[in-house]
Amino acid sequence: MEELEQKLGLDEEKKQSMWREELGLVLDREYYPVAFNSDAYLRDFYAQIDDPAMRIIHMFMPLIVAKLPKGGRMCDFGAGPTIHIGVCFRHCADEIYFADYLPQNREELTRWSKKESNFDWSVVLQTIACHEGAMDGSWRTMEEETRSKVRGVLYCNCLENPSIERPSNITEGFDIITTSYCAEYCTKTEEEYKAAIKNIVHQIKPG
C-alpha cells in the first residue's frame, strides 16, 4: 500500500483531501483530529486574505483593542495554528497565551514561538498594521513584539469545563479571552453552542 501511495505521489495532504471527497465528508469535529492540516489551513486563509470573514477580524480587532485598558493576561481560545489575534494584543496585554484543541496546531504555535515556523505572516501583519494606522514598515517588528509577550501554548476543549488546561500559576483565569471561528465549528446544535460559549466564558477571571 505504501509503495503504491509513493508511486502515485500521494502525500498526507493529498490523501486526506481525496479521502474527504470520496466519502463526501464535511470537516466537522469527528474528523478534526485526523483531517485538520495546519499548513494547508494557514496557506488557504492567511497567505493572502481573500476570505471576508478573516478580513473582518483584521479590520475590527485593532479598533477594539485600542479601546481596551492596558495590561493583564489574554488568551486566544481555539487559535488554531494562527497568531493574528495575539498580534493585535501585543501592546495591550502583559501576557499572551494561545490555546487550541489539536496537537498539530499547538505544535505549529510552539514552532512559531521558537522562530522555527516556515509560515510567512507578512500579508496579515501588513493588513493589521494598516488598520492600526501604521504605514511605516513597523509591521516588521510585530512578530517579535508578540513573541516577547507569549507565555504559553495550552490545550483547550470548549465541550469541557474547565475548557482550558491552565498552568498552575493562573489560578483565577484570564483578563481577556478572544475566540474566532471556533465554537461554531465544533458544536452541532444551538444548545451545544451555548454550553461551549459558557465553558469558554468560565475562563475569564471573576470581577
Ligand X SMILES: C[S@@+](CC[C@H](N)C(=O)[O-])C[C@H]1O[C@@H](n2cnc3c(N)ncnc32)[C@H](O)[C@@H]1O
**Residues of the shown chain interacting with ligand X in the complex, contacts defined by CB under 6 A:** 29, 32, 36, 78-80, 82, 100-102, 105, 156-159, 180-182, 185-186
Within 13 A of 87's CA, how many CA atoms are on the CB side?
25
Q: How far is the CB of 36 from ligand X (least distance, A)?
A: 6
Burial 69-103 (b: 16+ CB within 10 A, else e): eeeebbbbbbbbbbbbbbbbbbebbebbbbbbbbe
Amino acid present at 175: D
Residue nearest to ligand X (CB): 80
Q: Record the cell numbers describing residue 4, joined without a space.
A: 503504491
Nearer to ligand X, 71 or 162 (CB): 162
Q: How far is the CB of 187 from ligand X (least distance, A)?
A: 8
Nearer to ligand X, 134 or 185 (CB): 185
Dist CA 93 CA 84 (whole Å): 14
Q: How far is the CB of 188 from ligand X (least distance, A)?
A: 11
Nearer to ligand X, 77 or 139 (CB): 77
Nearer to ligand X, 53 or 63 (CB): 53
Count of C-beta atoms within a 10 Å radius of residue 46: 20
Q: How far is the CB of 8 from ligand X (least distance, A)?
A: 29
Q: How far is the CB of 57 from ligand X (least distance, A)?
A: 7
Nearer to ligand X, 12 or 51 (CB): 51
Q: How far is the CB of 88 from ligand X (least distance, A)?
A: 12
- 67: Cβ contacts below 8 Å, ≥ 6 apart: none
Dist CA 180 CA 5 (whole Å): 36
- 15: Cβ contacts below 8 Å, ≥ 6 apart: 5
Contact of 38 with 117, CB cutoff 8 Å:
no
Nearer to ligand X, 20 or 29 (CB): 29
